[in-house]
Each structure stands twice: as structure tokens, then as C-alpha cells.
């Protein structure tokens, strides 16, 4: 399966995953993303761990127990999301 297709399917399964992916335009912590999306940090951390498990994102400081910073994996960074006016999202 193509890398981009694998990511698109993964993101379509969860709106929160898609929102987190859209916010990862630069290196960010789960707390920063949670504040931007007005969601609980634990939910964002869980999503980031799932994305890291499938190599869609990379933790820049995995040995730190807190303030872990994440970025998109270079192989998947070009996959973009666009949102419709009625909260629907589309994956290009």
C-alpha cells in the first residue's frame, strides 16, 4: 500500500487524528496542540502515540518523560488536509 494512502485511511478513521495532523505544521508538544484544539491533553497524547506507532509522526525527544515534542515524519509531511465549512474534512 502506498504511504500516502496508508496515512489517509488512518486519518479518516478519526476526526481527532485529522485535527492533530493539521496542527502539526511545526514542532509542537501535546499540550500546545491540546490548547489549540481545546481538547484534553491526554486525548492528544494518545493520538500522537498512535501516530508515532505507525511512523506518521516522530518524537524529537523520546527519552524525556515530559514536554515531548512531535513533528510530522518527512515521508508523510506532504499529505495535507482541508476542511469544509460544515466541519467535514477532505484529504488531498
Q: Whole-model pTM?
A: 0.80
Q: What is the pLDDT of residue 82?
A: 55
Q: Which domain holds residue 26?
A: 3-91
The predicted-structure confidence for 31-49, as pLDDT tens digits, reads as follows 999 999 999 999 999 999 9
Number of domains into which the chain is organized: 1
Output the DSSP codes for the chain.
--HHHHHHHHHHT-HHHHHHHHH-SS-EEHHHHHHHHT--HHHHHHHHHHHHHTTSEEES-TT-SSS-EEEE-TTTTT--EEE-TTS-EEE-
Amino acid at each position: 500500500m502506498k504511504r500516502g494512502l496508508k496515512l489517509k485511511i488512518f486519518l479518516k478513521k478519526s476526526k481527532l487524528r485529522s485535527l492533530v495532523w493539521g496542527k502539526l505544521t511545526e514542532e509542537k508538544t501535546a499540550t500546545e496542540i491540546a490548547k489549540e484544539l481545546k481538547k484534553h491533553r491526554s486525548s492528544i497524547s494518545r493520538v500522537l502515540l498512535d501516530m508515532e506507532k505507525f511512523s506518521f509522526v516522530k518524537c524529537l525527544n523520546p527519552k524525556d518523560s515530559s514536554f515531548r515534542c512531535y513533528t510530522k515524519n518527512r515521508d508523510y509531511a506532504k499529505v495535507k488536509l482541508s476542511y469544509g465549512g460544515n466541519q467535514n474534512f477532505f484529504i488531498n
